[in-house]
Amino acid sequence: KNEVEQSPQNLTAQEGEFITINCSYSVGISALHWLQQHPGGGIVSLFMLSSGKKKHGRLIATINIQEKHSSLHITASHPRDSAVYICAVIADKLIFGTGTRLQVFP
């Protein structure tokens, strides 16, 4: 079993839909990253959070340390949101989930 599990693995949505990606982890962490990887491969860090909730534009990330769970929400999704979203936890090193491939259709 992976130390960081993401669900769903693949997700398709219609433009405008509300999207949720989940991340569960089994190790002790100091913080958690949500990353976005575009088809070309480049990675952008969306959030780093250790408690509560953060919001940036249409993106919201929450974390529940007690339940070892985090969610990434995208409101009013758009085709340009299509990417792989990766959850990564900071334990003794950065441990990555396998990613969620999101496709948003117009």
Partner 1 sequence: GAVVSQHPSRVICKSGTSVKIECRSLDFQATTMFWYRQFPKQSLMLMATSNEGSKATYEQGVEKDKFLINHASLTLSTLTVTSAHPEDSSFYICSASRGAQPQHFGDGTRLSIL
Contacting positions for partner 1 (CB under 8 A): 33, 35, 40-45, 48, 86, 88, 93-94, 96-99
Comparison of 48 and 65: residue with beta carbon closer to partner 1: 48
Comparison of 33 and 59: residue with beta carbon closer to partner 1: 33
Phi, psi of 86 (to 5 degrees): -120, 130
- In whole angstroms, how close is the CB of 104 to partner 1 at the nearest point? 19
- The alpha carbon dihedral of 55, 19, 14, 43 has a sign of positive
- In whole angstroms, how close is the CB of 18 to partner 1 at the nearest point? 26
- In whole angstroms, how close is the CB of 16 to partner 1 at the nearest point? 28
Contact 49, 60 (CB under 8 A): no
Rounded-to-integer distance, Cα 76 and Cα 92, Å: 36
